[in-house]
Structure 1
Amino acid sequence: MTISAVVFDIGRVLLEWEPERFYDRTIGEPRRHALFKEVDIHAANLNVDRGYPFRETIYALADANPKWAAEIRLWHDRWLEMASPEIPHSVRLLRALRAKGIPVYALTNFGVETFVIAQTHYPFLREFDQAFVSGQLRCIKPDAEIYAHLEEGTGKAPEELLFTDDRPENIAAAAVRGWKTHLFDTPDTWAARLVAEGLLTEAEAQ
C-alpha cells in the first residue's frame, strides 16, 4: 500500500533534547554525573510524559532528594533550555510535506504542560494535521496503545504510515504493526528516505 501520511517523533527529530548537555553547562559535568547517578530524574520525566503534573512531579523529586533539590528543580524551571534548539532541516521537511498536501502527524512522548510550552516557543509544533501526545493520551511509546490511538484517530491503515523516531524500540513497536519506519539519525538521511519513497523531490527535501 502506498504511503499516504508521515509521522514524526519530536524530541531529537524536530527539537534537540539533551538534558545532560544542559546540566553539564549549568553545574559542570562531574556534578551532573553524580546527580544522574543518585537521582533517576529521567524516570520522573517519563511520568510527566505519562500525564503526571509537571511541576508537582519534579518538585516532589526535589523534596525527596534535598541534597540535589536546586539542581532537580532546574528540570522544571529551565526546561525549555533542554528542549532546544529546533532542528531546522527537519522542520523544513515537515513543511515541505504539508505543502504537497501530505498529512503529517506527531507521535510523541511529551508532558501535557511541556507540550504547551514547546508549542508556544516553537510555532511549527502547531502545524501538524494531528498530534498524538503521550501526556494527553496517558500512554507512552513504545506501548502498543499509543500507536493504536494514532491509527484510530487518523483512519490510516498501518501500511500507509511512514514513521521516524530516534529510539529503536519505538521504531520496532511501529514496525510490528505494519508501519513503514525510519530510525532517525540525521535530517539528511531522513530527507533521503522521503525522496526515495517518492514523497519529496530532492529540491523539496533540501
Structure 2
Amino acid sequence: MTPEAVIFDIGNVLIEWQPERYYDAVIGEDRRRAMFAEVDLHGMNDVVDRGGDFRDTIYATAEKYPQFRDEIRMWHDNWLDLAKPAIPQSVRCLRALRAQGVKVLALTNFGIGTWAIATPVYDFLNEFDHAYVSGHMGVIKPETRIYEMVEDHSGLDPSALLFTDDRIDNINAAMARGWQVHHFTGSQGWADCLVSKGLLTAEQAT
C-alpha cells in the first residue's frame, strides 16, 4: 500500500552523527580508540536519549574516568561538532514530501537537551508534522514501546507507516510491528525508495 506517513530517523539520515570521527580529528585515533574501549560513551548517550540531563550525565561520566575527563566533556561542550553536517538530499526529500502533502514524522533517539541545541541550528528539524523524540518519551529505539507510542499517537495503521533508519536493529523492530521500512545506507537509496513507493518523482527526489 502507499504509505500515509513517512518517518525519518535523524542521526545519519538527516544529520551525520559520527562521534568517533570527531574525536579522531581532535585527539587522534589511538587515544580515541583507547577511550572508547574503556568508556561506554554510546551507553552514556543512551542515558541522555532516555531523558537524562545532558550536562549532568556527561560530566558525571567524565568524573568517573579522570584520565579522559576533558575528552568526555567535549561530548557536551562541543556537541554540535559531533552532530554535523546535515545530509542535503535527505533534507530535500523531507521538504519535497511535505510539499506533496505527505505527512512527515520523525522518530529519533535524541536527548531533551540535545534537541534544544539542534533545533535552532537545523531548521528542518522544526518542519515535521510531529517529532517523536525519545528524551521526551522516556524510551528509546529499538524498544517495542516507542513504536507502539507512535502508532497510538498518530492513529495510523502500522502498515501505513514508511520508516527509514540507519540502524538495522531499529529497522527490524519496526518491521516486526508491520511497518514498511527502508534501511538507510545513503541518501540516494532513500530517495529511490520514496520514488518506488509513488511518493515522489525522480526529479523531486534529487
| Structure 1: distance between partners of 2:92 and 2:2 | 23
Task: Please tell me whether the aligned partners of residues 51 and 138 of structure 2 are also in contact (alpha carbons under 8 angstroms).
Answer: yes
Are the counterparts in 2 of residues 139 and 145 from structure 1 also a CA contact under 8 Å?
A: yes
- What is the CA–CA distance in structure 2 between the aligned matches of 1:41 and 1:177, rounded to whole Å? 29
Q: Distance in 1 between matches of 2:150 and 2:136?
A: 13
Partners of 1:38 and 1:4 in 2: how far apart? 44
Q: Report the equivalent of 1:169.
A: 169
Q: Secondary structure at the match of 2:106?
A: strand
Q: Please say if residues 4 and 161 of structure 1, whose CA atoms lie closer than 8 Å, have aligned partners that are also in contact.
A: yes
TM-fit CA distance, 1:2? 2.9
Residue 114 in structure 1 maps to residue 114 in structure 2: yes
Listed as ranges, the matches of 1:37-56 within 5 Å are 37-56=37-56
Note the 1:115-154 alignment, pairs <5 A.
115-154=115-154
1:193 matched to 2:196? The reply is no
Q: Structure 1, residues 114-157: CA drift from partner, whole Å, max 9, x if none? A: 01111011010000000001000000000011111111111111
Q: Quick check: 2:2–2:198 contact (8 Å CA) kept in 1?
A: no
1:102 aligned onto 2:84:
no
Distance in 2 between the 1:34 and 1:150 partners? 38
Q: Secondary structure at the match of 1:171?
A: helix
Instruction: Give the distance between the partners of 2:187 and 2:42, measured in 1 at CA.
Output: 25
Deviations 1:150-190, CA, capped at 9 Å, x for gaps? 11111111010000000011000001111000000011010
The one-letter amino acid of 2:59's match is Y
Q: TM-score, normalised by structure 2?
A: 0.99
Q: What is the rounded CA distance, in whole Å, between the counterparts of 2:76 and 2:68 in structure 1?
A: 14
Counterpart contact for 1:59–1:73, Cα < 8 Å: yes
Query: What secondary structure is seen at the aligned counterpart in 2 of 1:22?
Result: helix
The aligned amino acid for 1:13 is: V
In 1, Cα distance between equivalents of 2:114 and 2:97: 26
> Aligned letter for 1:111?
G
Q: How many corresponding residue pairs?
A: 206
Query: What letter corresponds to residue 81 of structure 2 in structure 1?
Result: E
Q: Is the 8 A contact 2:96 2:204 kept in 1?
A: yes
Asked if the contact 1:2–1:159 (Cα under 8 Å) also holds between the matched residues in 2, the reply is no
Under a length normalisation based on structure 1, what TM-score does the superposition of the two structures give?
0.99
Q: CA–CA distance in 1 between the matches of 2:40 and 2:143?
A: 21
1:41 offset after TM fit, Å?
1.2
User: Which residue in 1 is equivalent to 2:70?
Assistant: 70
Asked whether the equivalents of residues 2 and 160 of structure 1 are also in contact (C-alpha less than 8 Å), the reply is yes
Partner of 1:22: 22
Percent identity among equivalent residues? 56
- Which runs of 4 or more aligned residues in structure 1 lie more than 4 Å from their structure 2 counterparts after TM superposition? none
Alpha-carbon contact 1:18-1:83 (below 8 Å) kept: yes
Distance 2:188 2:38 in 1: 37
Q: Deviations over 1:86-137 (max 9, x none)?
A: 0000000000000000000000000001011110110100000000010000
Query: Paired residue for 1:8?
Result: 8
Structure 1, unmatched stretches of 5+, are none
